[in-house]
Structures are given as C-alpha cells and as structure tokens.
C-alpha cells in the first residue's frame, strides 16, 4: 500500500474519531500528527493538505472563509455553523473557544446567574410564607 494510501486511511480514521469546528489547517494538522506521530515529518505537510482538500470536495469537511483565513469543520451543517459563528462573535474569544469546544466559562456564568435567581426565588418564598402565616 503506497504511503499516500496509508496517510489517507489514517486521516479517515482521524476524522471518525476527532470532531472539530472552525479549525485552521495548522490546527487540524497538529491534532492529526498528535494522533499519528509517524506523519509528523514536513514532507507529509502537502499530502495532508491535499487530503483535507479532497475531503472538502466530498463534503466530509466543510470549509469557511473568514476574511483571509480558511477554517474547516467536520461537525454539523451550515445552519449549525452559522449558529456557532454567531456565538463566537457574541462572546469574547477567551470566554468561548469553539475550536476546542471549551464552554466552561460560559457555563459557569450561566450557572452563577441561575444560582442568583434561585436565591431570589427562595427569598421570595420565605416572604410569602411569612405573609401567609400572619
């Protein structure tokens, strides 16, 4: 089996195991060579790029152009992508990293708001209970 066929097979396996949204090519390559270190050599760079573009043509990877940067996703539809783009614009990049699906800061903020609202509701219930007792 030629080296490019091995590389293509490895990349197919990578796509089935790894989901990514709004990754630059360098990020995809970094994660790929982390999973398959034998393709770390710079001589594989162009082959990996060609394989990514081949999967773009088949629709297995979606490509989005933001200004002068191409970003790739293998997860979701164009509608999902529009939602993710809206979220990434609305929130500070430090708060929400779509490429790593790091939602902890956003979730923490939402949970603190819920906690605050629950405390208010508990306070209102105590007041209502006291009013009903009198």
Most confident of 2-6, 90-94, 124-128: 124-128
Alpha-helix runs per DSSP H in 1-134: 3-17, 25-35, 45-58, 78-90, 104-133
Structural domain spans, the chain: 3-77
Q: Residue 108: what pLDDT?
A: 65
Partners of 70 in the β-ladder:
65
Tens of pLDDT, residue by residue over 47-102, are 999 999 999 888 888 888 877 788 888 765 444 555 556 566 655 555 444 545 55
The class (CATH top level) of 3-77 is mainly alpha
């Amino acid at each position: 089996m030629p080296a490019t066929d091995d590389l293509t097979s490895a990349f197919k396996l990578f796509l089935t195991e790894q989901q990514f949204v709004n990754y630059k090519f360098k990020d995809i390559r970094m994660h790929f060579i982390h999973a398959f270190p034998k393709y770390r050599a710079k001589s594989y760079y162009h082959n990996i790029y060609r394989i990514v573009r081949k999967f773009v043509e088949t629709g297995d990877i979606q490509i989005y152009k933001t200004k002068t940067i191409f970003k790739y996703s293998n997860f979701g539809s164009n509608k999902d992508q529009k939602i993710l783009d809206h979220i990434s614009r609305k929130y500070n990049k430090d708060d929400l990293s779509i490429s790593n699906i790091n939602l902890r800061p956003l979730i923490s903020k939402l949970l603190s708001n819920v906690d605050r609202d629950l405390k208010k509701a508990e306070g209102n219930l105590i007041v209502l209970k006291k009013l009903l007792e009198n």
